[in-house]
Amino acid sequence: MNYQFHTAEELLTLTKKYAMPIHEVVLRHEMDFSHMTEEQVRERMKKRMGVMKDGILQMREYPKISVSGMSGKATEKIDAFLRHHPHDAAVGETGLRAMLYALATAENNASMGCITAFPTAGSSGIIPGVLFAAQEKYMASDDQLLNALFTASGIGLIIAENATLSGAEGGCQAEVGSATAMAAAAVSEMRGGSPEQCLHAAALALKNMLGLTCDPVGGMVEVPCVKRSALAAVYTLAASDLAIAGIESFIPFDQVLEAMEHIGRLISPKLRETSLGGLAVTATARSVEEKLGITINGANKEGPCGSCAACIPNEV
Amino acid sequence: MGSYSIFDIAGPIMIGPSSSHTAGAVKLGQMARALFDATPEKATFLLHGSFATVYKGHATDKALLAGVMKFQTKDPRIKEAFAIAKEQGLAYEFQTGDLGIAYHPNTVKITLEKEGIPPMEVVGSSIGGGNIEVKKIDEFDVDFRGAAGRYFTLIFCHKDKPGMLALITKAIADKGANIANLQNSRLSKGGKALTIVCLDSPIALADILAFEKNDDMYFVRSLTSIDS
């Protein structure tokens, strides 16, 4: 028995060969890879799930404003909205819950709380946002939720091997974009989608995030990261809906990854986690930097500075 | 077999705000400390690329220092790393600079010093999601990853002379451990050489220390407990 896979196509072949859902192939892949028993692998993932849940609870019960003051208030507001007007939400109650859990995770992260980076810290709100909301909606068990986390991880493995999960290397498409692809596949499996449908959901989600830049205000993982996580969680649910309805991605997932890698190299380094362009150089961003006494080091935002290689165009 | 564990993707469990700029930085600090294998009195960090421009907002500086003090990625004391370093008598300095375009944008050169022993320089990159790569140890270009508990890595610095690799691999084979990956390079013929061996299973500490009894072996390091 061999559960190795490097691409979505290989993963799909394994699900067919062994008549297994994605999460089971991923679980067995990990058992082989790290020489652990099924129970050990499940326990390790459970611990990560526990950290996600605790972080959300903490943030809802004891909201914390980040040091910069830019984040920490959104969780409370969406929580109140959910309590008082759950039927008012344009995105429905599940969408509202997805935003709440994503915001709580992202705001907890911004205030240096304890989180599970999944796949990264800046994008850590999306997977819990989508999956915890879907668990309630579809009345899934904790075991099903755990399985969904394995499915998400499997998609993440393919991205890490063939493209990148680093915002500094690929822009935000590599972080939030990857998280939406992972969550889209996982939620689709949780609601009974076939492995093909899961991969279409992942491809549909990621395609919509291609080209997304990483230009955080003051170099902090707050603006736009926190609220972007909430919005990304909602549209991940929509990507899953498309796939479950039978809509296919015209471009297969593996080729979407090739595109992401290519686009990442074309994005100027000023828009790849250096805070030298985009939202990070707006008047509002500059006034925040001034107020907080932050200097983006080596940065001459008007022209080349020579010290950070941000101005040297990439080879493509 | 691929090169990632799913727990490199679903993880690490960490103190925010950034997996690459905070958790990855902690791991790079841990790695440098493990390679130095002594309690440093001074740590100097040269930050490159995105590390140089946005380190303050991501607490990259505190995270690197925390790693050098062996804190885990989930340790809430990362926030107080400066104060704790002062208490422990660890002097630190942060510089920004350009290590060259060949390096990943999230790269740092860490220099650890302690009186009476040679200083050590480690260049490492945080490649996303909290995963790291070591690119240079002192003058040696290397390339190995701190993956989540996959390998047990041994690092040998030894004289470049016939039989050294045979000596290392035979001793490992005698202990029943399998070599998954091996890198070897030297600075000059007959000079210093560095050999990195990744094992599928660990070997006992006593067996590792036994290597150092050889006069041509300058140091041996074992990296088995890198945080994940």
B residues 126-145 lying closer than 8 A (beta carbon) to A: 126-131
A187: domain range? 8-269
Is 70 exceeded by the pLDDT of residue A250?
Answer: yes
Report the pLDDT averaged over residues A92-121. Answer: 97
Domain's final residue, options B145, B163, B178? B145
How confident is the prediction for chain B on average, in pLDDT?
A: 90
* A168–B19 CB contact, under 8 Å: no
User: What's the rounded Cα separation, in Å, for the pair B175 and B125?
Assistant: 32
* Structure confidence at residue A302 (pLDDT): 41
For residue A30, list chain B residues with Cβ-Cβ distance below 8 A: 5-7
Q: Determine whether the interchain pair A168/B105 forms a contact, defined as Cβ–Cβ distance below 8 Å.
A: yes
pLDDT in tens, A32-91: 988 899 999 999 999 999 999 999 999 999 999 998 899 999 999 999 999 999 999 999
Report the pLDDT value the prediction gives residue B145, as an integer from 0 to 100: 78
- Within 8 A of A308 by CB-CB distance, chain B residues are 48-50, 52-53, 96, 98
- B1 in any annotated domain: no
Chain A touched by B202 (CB under 8 Å): no
In this structure, the answer to whether residues B98 and B53 fall within a common structural domain is: yes
> What's the confidence (pLDDT) of residue B203?
87
Cα gap B145→B199, rounded to integer Å: 13
Residues of A in contact with B1 (CB under 8 A): 4, 32-33
Q: Is 60 exceeded by the pLDDT of residue A297?
A: no
More confident residue, A185 or B143: A185
CATH of the domain at B24: 3.30.1330.90
In a domain, B36, yes or no: yes
The pLDDT of residue A313: 43
Q: Where in the sequence is the domain holding B156, given as residue range(s)?
A: 152-223
Is the pLDDT at B79 greater than 80? The verdict is yes
Rounded-to-integer distance, Cα B150 and Cα A304, Å? 42
Which chain B residue is nearest to residue A2, measuring alpha carbons? B1
Of A30, A120, A156, the CB nearest to B19: A120
- The beta-carbon neighbor of A297 closest among B15, B58, B96 is B96
Determine whether A315 is exposed, middle or buried from the number of CB atoms within 10 Å of its CB (0-12, 13-18, 19+): exposed
Question: Quick check: B96 contacting A, CB < 8 Å?
Answer: yes
- Cα(A111)–Cα(A67) distance, rounded to whole angstroms? 7
What does the alpha-carbon distance between residue A161 and residue A248 come to, in Å, rounded to a whole number?
Answer: 24
Could you tell me if B119 and B170 lie in one domain? no
Residue A16 CB coordination number (10 Å): 10
Q: Determine the angle formed by the axes of helices A195-207 and A8-17, rounding to 10 degrees.
A: 170
Selecting from B9, B52, B104 the residue whose C-beta is nearest the C-beta of A297 gives B52
Considering only the beta carbons, identify the residue of A30, A120, A219 that sits closest to B5: A30
Task: Tell me which of A166, A291, A315 to substitute to probe the interface with B (most B C-beta atoms closer than 10 Å).
Answer: A166
Amino acid B2: pLDDT: 56
Q: Does residue B134 carry a pLDDT above 50?
A: yes
| Residues B26, B71 contacting (CB under 8 angstroms) | yes
The residue out of B93, B111, B145 marking a domain boundary is B145
Mutate to test the interface with A, among B3, B19, B94 (most CBs of A within 10 A): B19
Asked whether residue A95 is assigned to any structural domain, the reply reads yes
Q: What is the ipTM of this complex?
A: 0.92
Count Cα atoms within 13 angstroms, Cβ side, for A129.
36
pLDDT tier for residue B168 given thresholds of 50, 70 and 90: very high
Residues B139 and B57 in one domain: yes
Residue B204: the pLDDT is 87
Domain final residue pick, B86, B115, B145: B145
How many structural domains are present in chain B? 2
Indicate the residue type of B221.
Answer: R
Indicate if the pLDDT at residue A305 is higher than 60: no
Q: A265 with B44: CB under 8 angstroms?
A: no
* Minimal Cβ distance to A166: which of B20, B23, B52: B20
- Residue A97 vs residue B221, higher pLDDT: A97
Do residues A115 and A102 touch, judged by C-beta distance below 8 A? no
pLDDT at B128 > cutoff 90: no
- Residue B142's nearest CA partner among B56, B221, B46 is B221
Q: Is A138 helix (H, G, I), strand (E, B) or coil?
A: coil
**Alpha-carbon distance B189 to nearest alpha carbon in chain A (angstroms):** 35
Instruction: Give burial (CB, 10 Å; 0-12/13-18/19+) of A53.
Output: middle
Please tell me whether residues B87 and B163 are part of one structural domain. Answer: no
Q: pLDDT, tens digit, for every residue of B173-196? A: 999 999 988 999 998 999 999 999
pLDDT over 70 percentage in chain B = 94
* Across B72-77, average pLDDT: 94
User: Could you report the per-residue pLDDT of A145-174, keeping only the tens digit for each?
Assistant: 999 999 999 999 999 999 999 998 999 999
What pLDDT, on a 0 to 100 scale, did the predictor assign at position B1?
A: 40
Give the nearest partner residue to A109 out of B2, B16, B127, using CB atoms. Answer: B16
- Mean pLDDT over residues A121-145, rounded? 98
Judging contacts by C-beta atoms under 8 Å, the chain A residues touching residue B54 are 216, 219-220, 273-275, 296
Are B100 and B172 in a shared domain? Answer: no
Half-sphere exposure of B63 (CA within 13 A, CB side): 29
Number of A to B CB contacts under 8 A, please give it: 222
Predicted confidence band of residue A315 (pLDDT cuts 50, 70, 90) = very low
pLDDT value at residue A294: 76
Residues 10-39 of B with CB under 8 A from A: 10-23
Q: Which pTM was predicted?
A: 0.89
B159 shares a domain with B49: no
Count: domains in chain A? 1
DSSP letter (8 states) at residue B177: P
What is the tens place of the pLDDT at every residue in A272-285?
Answer: 988 899 999 999 99
| Cis-peptide, bond into residue B17, ω within 30° of zero | yes
Q: Indicate if B125 and B47 belong to the same structural domain.
A: yes
Please report which confidence band the pLDDT of residue B151 belongs to, taking 50, 70 and 90 as the band edges. Answer: low
- CA–CA distance, B67 with B124 (Å, rounded to integer): 13
Chain A nearest C-alpha distance from B3 (Å):
8
Chain A CB within 8 Å of residue B109 CB: no
Q: Is residue A288 part of a domain?
A: no
Do B191 and B86 reside in the same domain of the chain? no
Q: Which of B12, B19, B52 sits opposite A298 (nearest CB)?
A: B52
Residue A45 has a pLDDT of 97
Residues B71, B169 within the same domain: no
With tokens 């960090």, the residue in question is B45
Ranges assigned E (strand) in B87-161: 91-97, 106-114, 117-128, 131-137, 140-145, 152-159
